[in-house]
Chains A and B, each alone.
Chain A
Amino acid sequence: MGNKLFIHGYDAVGYGALNAGCRHFFGYPITPQNEITEFFARELPKRGGRFVQTESESSSASMVFGAAAAGVRVMTSTSSPGWGLMQETISHISMCELPCVIVDVQRGGPGQGTTRHAQTDYLNATRGGHGGYKNIVLAPSSVQECHDLMQLAFYLADKHRILTVVLADGILIQIAEYINADPIEYDGLPPKDWALTGFGKKDGRFDQIHSTRGLIPPIYKTVVEQLHEKYNRISETEVRFKTYEADDADLLLIAYGYVARCAEEAVNMARSEGLKVGLIQPVTLWPFPYAVLNEKASKGSRFLVVEDSMGQLLEDVKLGVEGKSRIDFLGMSARHVDGELGMIFPETIFKEVKRLT
């Protein structure tokens, strides 16, 4: 206790990774996450770590692939167009089951889009690229959570031999808040005895990390089934979400990231007028908390999905609710101005809540 700092989201990501023991970062500049890359360029050499500014996000992801295969805690950070470039290697990382962490600071898309905040990578992050795989996706909604979820991300990555994505946005990374910057203790993890270090350090044992798994035994279908057994296990055990005033709520707001903070404020406004409104905030976007939404829908709660896109989180809420209850949507069109600076403010959400109740 007592390690209290007033810092930006980008530095919270950095300190969270350092507290998790990450000493390798490979990255490429892209707005609005440049300060994360600059954090590691500044801090890692002091700690004996390795920082490389690469020539592209493809190369960053490939270096992450290599370092993860060699068994160290490694990460990169990017924003939406760079996230797109990394998709190829992310699929290879998933086939090879390499534990590592990638931070995607979402900005507006599609294409080059804007360099400001948005939540338009949700479906890509939770559904993935070519070949059918899953990554754990964590969504912070405060500077504190940027710090804490980075540590959780490295733990879950090592626990399950999987890529963990931290899906932030331009606002979270650029705001400053007080945080407690202490390391978090986790349970023991399996040794990385498969890491590529040369057989001399492993008593003659050699390892092959194959993105063509299935070409040599175990054969292809078995590999795919084993991967999906793991995904099912994670779906059953690693779902995380937060609730706020949700117990007796007739109307439940569903939101993540910066929008969840605005939604929480809207709940306060509604409660002060006696309206039974609450918030369910998924922390793991994959695996998604479908069950809690289904249970609330069965009990008669209605839903208002609020997100800074034209409707992506909305798809998962529909899958959870299974048509048992009404779902309304407040998206990017509710931004307070039309330009790239537009945000979905608590007042706007509250107005929609009043219209619906």
Chain B
Amino acid sequence: MSVEVVVNANDLFEMVEQVWVSYLDPEGINPLIPTGDEEQSSEVHSSVSITGSWTGHVVYASSTAAAKKAAAAFLAMGVEEVSDEDVTDVLGELANIVGGNVKAMLPAGALLSLPQVVLAPDSATKYPSAERITGLYGLWEGEPVSVSMWQSRNDMNKEETA
């Protein structure tokens, strides 16, 4: 089956913007500002896998400071009160929300995994059989935040040979 990549950086931005409007910046004071800087660094990341009509990974990555700020906003607590467990849970939920929204844009027949969280830079996780196809890179109050999509090479080969 040939599957066009139906999700681009603008779509990712719209999804992430909704998360900011709903939970992280309801007042509209500190939005995520896209920079397009693919090389920006991260300190923590989370991901969900999608299999079926499209196969690959959706990865959320940020600095530790941005993850703590997100956890504080999600859990309605002060940044100084945020524990590693809070950061882990919130990162997992962020990957789940963005991954679920990505899945909704894919052709029918895609399955979403439960999220995985790694408190280390996204470069620490390798996806040997997948290639980054698009991503949203930005700054939130000066802290790096990104969402990237990695497509399985087998999936890409299917497209080429279809």
A binds B: no
Chain A residues near B (Cβ < 8 Å): none
